[in-house]
Chain A
Amino acid sequence: MERVLDPPVLQRHRDTPLSLGVAFVVMVVLLIAAPFLVYPVFLMKALCFALFACAFNLLIGYVGLASFGHAMFFGWASYLTAYAAKTGSLSIPYWFGHTMWFVIGFPPQSPEIAILIGAVTAAILGYITGIIAIRRQGIYFAMITLALSQMLYFFALQAKFTGGEDGIQGVPRGRLFGVLDLNAEMTMYSFVLIVVLAGFLLIYRIINSPFGEVLKAIRENEPRAISLGYKTERYKLAAFVLSATLAGVAGSLKALVFQLASLTDVHWTMSGDVLLMTLLGGLGTVFGPVVGAFVVIAMQNYLAPFGQWVLVIQGAIFVVCVLVFRRGIVGELARILRVRL
């Protein structure tokens, strides 16, 4: 049986980390040069989604858990960041419905604190939903995460502070550490680039740590990992929370870039988008999610005038990827070049 996430290339060429270093340098150089050639807001959007997709890939590519609900982390972090940066006072839901919000008065927060709040939100949400979702595997896991994220979509729709259909608009970007004015496009771009690269490196570090090796062992053969004495549930939960947190950072950044948090970010279509990016770029590859994110965002950008055709094309890409292109762009490239990417 061919497994989802086992591009054979990775096993054969494990001894060439040089290709990864070269690819990383190329990526960084391209991203530094890019804002002089391409519209920076587009690049920042693509970067946010690149981080989102990398966080998602940590789970599907290295643990083999396909989440259909990552929009909840992305979207809720984005809401909380937007709210913290704009209004400040902290609203904590302690039961559902719009009537029950625990509010602590704070002044509007600076961007780094706002992002931190978004990340913490995503981490807590990841912990709670993770405990529920990791009780089942495979397709059940996908259905459970999808259902939970739909629940959180309805919470966002009903909660007062999210602004319902309008979302939270006019979020101030503010001054980073009270010094750097993020309203300047290039400063904002540099900030986004640094955060995304840091997230990228962190994920790379995680998958190459002893912890990451255990994750891969769980992906390959969970019963065997259990028999070796690993508490696989804990590892899976930890990976889930890490993935959720980084997805949250991506959502927080996006809220600041667009100065907007809206229902689109928590809707299940967002989970579908990030899945598409990862699949198209290459499941379980280091650079795949980044490439996938840029391709999908560019496609959405250029095809926007064609309305609903975007949905049709995205669906068609899913079908084609599954039938004939399971390694994705970067996976195929790695196979042709016979290197690890």
Chain B
Amino acid sequence: MSGPVSGPVTLRLDSLTKRYGSVEVVADVCLTIEPGERRALIGPNGAGKTTLFSMITGRVPASAGRVEFNGTNITSASEDRRTRLGMAQTFQRSSLFDGLSVLDNVLLSAQRRASLAHRMVRPARRYAGVRDRAAEVLATVGLEHRGADLVRGLSHGERRQMEVALALACDPALILFDEPVAGLSPAETQDFVAMARRLPAGITLLFIEHDIDVVRALASRVTVLDAGRLLVEGSPAEIAEDARVAEAYLGRARSDDDFWDG
């Protein structure tokens, strides 16, 4: 519904830093993402990817630096305000409303987007626009047949789909996916990639991912983070050739980080 908003840059990070005591988890990261871009954020475990995400979404306050979203300085904006400005996120460990039905989960997202969430008189499901939007989103992620079921009873793969559905129902200009295919079967991973490729070109995507095939299939550009710092940025092909990236992964030599095995 809402495409890219005015301004040539969707997200701009300026010297973004997170310190815990004397430890810099994210140090001095500068990043610019253009509207409609599909950007992958990769790096070995502990590189600070999730912390960087949390600073962008506002869950964790930045220690220094600046976050700009669609031309607005949101460095000190609350998490909920950032979402209202057009940002949405999915979580690595899915975070849903377990005791509610699949439909109610998505309605929660859609009714807020429609600025109806505070209404107190008509039943929530009588708002046809919100309902239709929720049904549409459920169809997009492939859960249209599960609307009446409790989220608590969903499989891991379906929970990942719900994460995406909640984000999409926000009609965001920018979606941040934190390891969207973690723990999914190859078939489910394929489904996710196909779904993500079908998303409107106006939506900007920023995703953390370890699976190289997913990165190749989705990303237009790749940013590599290592030890909290921005290591290199380029097209997927350039990154694959880059010696520093290989070193960053091999230097740690733990097989579960082995990006290039993917």
Q: Do A and B bind each other?
A: no
